[in-house]
């Protein structure tokens, strides 16, 4: 035999089909003219391609093992020698590692996902709620049950690709004759055509409709949370599986509370006299009204915690806290009697001319960091 195809690919004579294919792919990556522009590689590339065409075809390999070279003059190579009916998909496989799927593709495809914005009050996000949502979506056509054909009819085999879903074209290149495949332009790759489409869905297999679904919003969601409802999106073309529906939570601002994570914060204004003498206030929490004590001598800026009165933790037990920030109100308008009483109090406390207590202004970042490490 003039050519040793096994030596050309660097494989043993008993090598299996997978081993031969891997060897060819490895060499093709190195020797393809687009990768290696050296003119000498073109002849070498043709040699490995010819060797692969023989050894990858069981009939040609058997003929070669019996001593006949299919590419030798009169050797019986179908199509007249190198390149006839060349398996172009194997070259593509050598460079991209995959081979295009053969055969017609299904008309049924997965439907698109959808997103709905759901506005909730703070109490609904804190404790969860149930909502009924109206969704404009696509469902399976009941007239054709997703087939897309009129009742009593069926899709017909495409007369251009004969049901294969693809057509082949032979072109000439430096490799010889190269056969390529592409989706059939007549049937779009489906292998069949719908001559009589369903009058309800016009052959799409689905129709638009409006439906209502009941969804459970879990406790602890917050502004921007996304909830996935699997299979509640649009049905796909051809009656394909439905996509998913996502709920985007939008939390409305609360009149009193500001939410920070699962904690709630609010500010209460307390008169100077009440802060000095102490008092009690009624706070409208998410659980209802509750009493809190303002201890005598409470200062402006102090926080009064109400543990476990915040938002429920999402997918966990327990709740955040409610932090009440106290702001002391200093009177700005006094009548004569009130002013006289305050002056007498100032005299009793020796505060007619208070010396005042000064401290540094706004701390910088590193000062605050230092104090945090020092436990201040």
**190-215 per-position pLDDT tens digit:** 999 999 999 999 999 999 999 999 99
N residues, the chain: 376
Q: What is the pLDDT of residue 130?
A: 96
Q: What is the pLDDT of residue 79?
A: 38
127 near 287, Cβ under 8 Å? no
Distances (CA, A) of 347 to 330, 342, 343, 344, 352: 18, 9, 6, 5, 6
The architecture (CATH level 2) of 114-248 comes to: Ribbon (2.10)
Distances (CA, A) of 311 to 10, 30, 69, 248: 69, 63, 81, 19
Q: What is the three-class DSSP state of 170?
A: strand
Q: What is the pLDDT of residue 192?
A: 94
The b-or-e profile of 21-43 (16+ CB within 10 A means b, else e) is bebbbebbeebbeeeeeeeeebe
Q: What is the pLDDT of residue 75?
A: 47
Q: What is the pLDDT of residue 102?
A: 59
- DSSP lists the bridge partners of residue 285 as 288
Q: Which fold has domain 5-96?
A: Helix Hairpins (1.10.287)
67 near 3, Cβ under 8 Å? no
Q: Does the annotation place 266 within a ligand binding site?
A: no
Q: What is the pLDDT of residue 292?
A: 94
Q: What is the pLDDT of residue 199?
A: 95
Q: What is the pLDDT of residue 88?
A: 45
Instruction: Please tell me the distance from the alpha carbon of residue 138 to that of residue 202, in angstroms, as a whole number.
Output: 14
Q: What is the pLDDT of residue 58?
A: 86
Q: Which residues make Cβ contacts (< 8 Å) with residue 338, sequence separation at least 6? A: 331
Domain residue limits, the chain: 5-96, 114-248, 258-373
Q: Does the annotation place 158 within a ligand binding site?
A: yes
Q: Does the annotation place 201 within a ligand binding site?
A: yes
28 near 94, Cβ under 8 Å? yes
Instruction: Please tell me the distance from the alpha carbon of residue 286 to that of residue 243, in angstroms, as a whole number.
Output: 37
Q: What is the pLDDT of residue 332?
A: 86
Q: Does the annotation place 198 within a ligand binding site?
A: yes
Scan for tokens 């003039």, then name that residue: 2
| Residues of the chain below pLDDT 50 | 1, 75-101, 365, 369
CATH class of 258-373: mainly beta
Beta-strand pair 176-183/86-87: parallel
The reply to whether domains 5-96 and 114-248 share a CATH topology is no
Q: What is the pLDDT of residue 186?
A: 92
């Amino acid at each position: 035999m003039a050519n040793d195809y096994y030596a050309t690919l660097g494989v043993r004579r008993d090598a299996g089909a997978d081993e031969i294919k891997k060897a060819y792919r490895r060499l093709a990556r190195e020797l393809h003219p687009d990768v290696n522009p050296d003119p000498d590689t073109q002849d070498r590339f043709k040699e490995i391609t010819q060797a692969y065409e023989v050894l990858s075809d069981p009939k040609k390999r058997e003929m070669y093992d019996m001593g006949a070279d299919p590419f030798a003059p009169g050797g019986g190579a179908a199509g007249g020698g190198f390149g006839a009916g060349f398996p172009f998909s194997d070259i593509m496989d050598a460079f991209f590692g995959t081979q295009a799927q053969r055969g017609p593709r299904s008309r049924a495809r997965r439907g698109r996902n959808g997103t709905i914005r759901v506005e909730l009050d703070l109490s609904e996000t804190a404790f969860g709620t149930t909502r009924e949502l109206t969704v404009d979506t696509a469902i399976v056509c009941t007239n054709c049950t997703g087939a897309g054909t009129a009742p009593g009819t069926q899709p017909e085999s495409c007369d251009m690709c004969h049901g294969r879903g693809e057509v082949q074209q032979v072109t000439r290149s430096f490799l010889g004759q190269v056969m390529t495949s592409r989706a059939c332009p007549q049937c779009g790759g489906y292998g069949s055509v719908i001559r009589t489409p369903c009058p309800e869905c016009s052959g799409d297999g689905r129709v638009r409709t409006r439906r209502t679904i009941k969804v459970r919003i879990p406790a602890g969601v917050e502004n921007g949370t996304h909830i996935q409802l699997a299979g509640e999106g649009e049905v796909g073309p051809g009656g394909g599986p439905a996509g998913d529906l996502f709920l985007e939570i939008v939390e409305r601002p609360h009149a009193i509370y500001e939410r920070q994570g699962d904690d709630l914060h609010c500010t209460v204004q307390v008169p100077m006299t009440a802060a000095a003498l102490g008092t009690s206030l009624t706070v409208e929490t998410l659980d209802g009204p509750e009493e809190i004590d303002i201890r005598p001598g409470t200062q402006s800026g102090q926080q009064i915690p109400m543990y476990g009165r915040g938002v429920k933790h999402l997918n966990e037990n327990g709740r955040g806290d409610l932090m009440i920030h106290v702001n002391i109100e200093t009177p700005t308008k006094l009548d004569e009697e009130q002013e006289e009483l305050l002056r007498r109090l100032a005299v009793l406390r020796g505060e007619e001319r208070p010396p005042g207590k000064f401290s540094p202004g706004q701390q910088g970042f590193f000062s605050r960091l230092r104090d945090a490490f020092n436990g201040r």
